[in-house]
Structure 1
Amino acid sequence: MYDTILVATDGSDSANRAVDHALDLASTFDANLHGISVVDTRRYGDSMLSDSDSVIGDLSDRAEELLAEMETRADVDVTTTVRRGRPHDEIGSYADSIDADLILLGNRGLDSSDEIGSTAERVVRYVDRPVLTA
């Protein structure tokens, strides 16, 4: 049913639930699992961070740690990538490049409000692939 699964993580509780589901689905369907974490510099003001290699480096390091943790928990091979940009654009672009059958992501990010997060909403609305939010 699923040959290629993409899971996005930002380290939030809902993203961790999405990772759990992705690991289970990839194992169940013997699917190729891809993990993505997007460094969203727009959240902090891209113009302010664009010249700050230190801040971008710290955000990228955190993204790498999240993906490495996913790899250690997986009983299938995981291909990981860290991207920089608008999260929904990068998730959609990467999903297209790997021809993902399913995208999983948290229903809200690090802000942890009661409403669906903007990234999840935009992925569901604009990415032309099945999406599961957790």
Structure 2
Amino acid sequence: MYDTILVATDGSDVANRATDRAIDLASTFDAELHVVFVVDTRRYGSSMLSESDDVVDDVERRGQEILSDVETRAAVAVTGAVRRGRPHDEIGAYADAIDADLIVLGNRGLGKGGKIGSTAERVVRYVDRPVMTA
């Protein structure tokens, strides 16, 4: 049913729940598991980024740690990537690049409140692939 599964994570509790679901699905269907962490460069503002990449570098290091954690937890092989940009755009582009059969992500990430987070909503609306939120 699924040959290639992509899970997007930001390291939040909700994203970890989605990651666990993606790991289970990949094990069940003997599917390739890809994990993507997106550094949302819009959060830091262009003026900060032009002065120093230290903040973004720190976030990228955190993303690498999260990917390493997923690799440790998974009973299947994991391919991971850290990308910069708008999360829903980068998730969609990565899904297209690997021809993902399914995208799994948390229904809300690091932001508080709401029923569904803005990134999850945008992925569901604009990415032309099946999406599961957890």
Determine the C-alpha separation between the residues in 2 that align with 1:91 and 1:24: 20
The number of residues matched between the two structures is 134
Partner residue in 2 for 1:17: 17
C-alpha displacement at 1:95, in angstroms?
0.1
Superposition pairs for residues 1-134 of structure 1, below 5 Å?
1-134=1-134
C-alpha displacement at 1:43, in angstroms?
1.6
List, as ranges, runs of 4+ consecutive aligned residues in structure 1 with deviation greater than 6 Å: none
1:5-31 Cα distance to aligned partner (Å, 9 max, x none): 000000111101100000000000000
C-alpha displacement at 1:48, in angstroms?
1.9
1:14/1:51 CA distance change after superposition, 3 Å: same
Q: Please tell me the residue identity of whatever aligns with 2:34.
A: H
RMSD: 0.9
What is the percent sequence identity of the aligned residues? 74
Determine the C-alpha separation between the residues in 1 that align with 2:46 and 2:101: 32
1:30/1:50 CA distance change after superposition, 3 Å: farther
1:109/1:73 CA distance change after superposition, 3 Å: same
TM-score by length of 1: 0.96
Gaps of 5+ in 1: none
Q: Secondary structure at the match of 2:128?
A: coil
Determine the C-alpha separation between the residues in 1 that align with 2:40 and 2:105: 15
Gaps of 5+ in 2: none
Determine the C-alpha separation between the residues in 1 that align with 2:47 and 2:34: 30
